[in-house]
Amino acid sequence: MIGFPIDELLSEEECYQYLKRSLHPEGLSCPNGHELPSDQAPHDRRREPIVDYRCRECGAVFNIFTDTVWSKTHYDPSTIVMLLRGFAKGVPTKWLTDEMDLAYPSVLDRRHRIQEAVQKGERVGLPSGVSEDRLPDPGVEADEMYQNAGEKRRSAPRSG
Ligand SMILES: [Zn+2]
């Protein structure tokens, strides 16, 4: 498969701003619910544009992914946007991980967590125009068939 590096052509800053708006339409607050003042400077900029803030009221350190399905992710914002786009379009996980050179098991696990979160009504970063409860399953089912087929091949009885 030829991987066209769309994710490398996307602006990390634009993708970050999109995810911030999508995950926190009412604005950012700390894990204890204290609102982040709009003029507060980040506490840690080492992973810009993903920055950490420290709550002035309780001292909690957080970023836009804290307490979401993307908590502690190591993916760049553009990678997250490309994965969400693929999930929303029902693209099999294997295709996405091949094209984007990502680890298949961890992306499939993340996809399952996103589906669970969507069912619970949590925000996962999908555009507001996408009906989240219609996140298609066929891609994941195809992945599971693929995975099962692989496991069957691996566990086939060996001669001797
Ligand atoms: Zn706080």
**pLDDT tens-digit profile of 54-112?**
999 999 999 999 999 999 999 999 999 999 999 988 889 999 999 899 999 999 999 98
**Ligand 1 geometric centre to CA of 54 (Å):** 8
Residue 124 structural domain: 74-154
Which residues face 62 on adjacent strands?
53
pTM tops 0.95: no
What is the rounded distance in angstroms from the CA atom of residue 1 to the CA atom of residue 74?
A: 25
Q: How far is CA 61 from CA 52, 76, 97, in A?
A: 6, 19, 31
DSSP category for residue 132:
G
Tokens representing residue 103 in the block: 């680890």
What is the rounded distance in angstroms from the CA atom of residue 120 to the CA atom of residue 64?
A: 19
Asked if the structure places residue 58 within a domain, the reply is no
Q: Are 104 and 111 in contact (CB under 8 A)?
A: no
Q: Is the peptide bond before 105 cis (omega within 30 degrees of 0)?
A: no
Percent of the chain with pLDDT over 90: 60
**Ligand 1 geometric centre to CA of 30 (Å):** 5
Asked if the structure places residue 1 within a domain, the reply is no
Asked if the structure places residue 118 within a domain, the reply is yes
What average pLDDT does the segment 133-157 reach? 54
**Ligand 1 geometric centre to CA of 29 (Å):** 7
**Ligand 1 geometric centre to CA of 56 (Å):** 7
Q: Are 17 and 59 in contact (CB under 8 A)?
A: no
**Ligand 1 geometric centre to CA of 67 (Å):** 13
Asked if the structure places residue 97 within a domain, the reply is yes
Total structural domains in the chain? 1
Asked if the structure places residue 8 within a domain, the reply is no
Highest mean pLDDT out of 2-16, 34-48, 138-152: 34-48
**Residue 49 φ then ψ, to 5°:** -80, -5
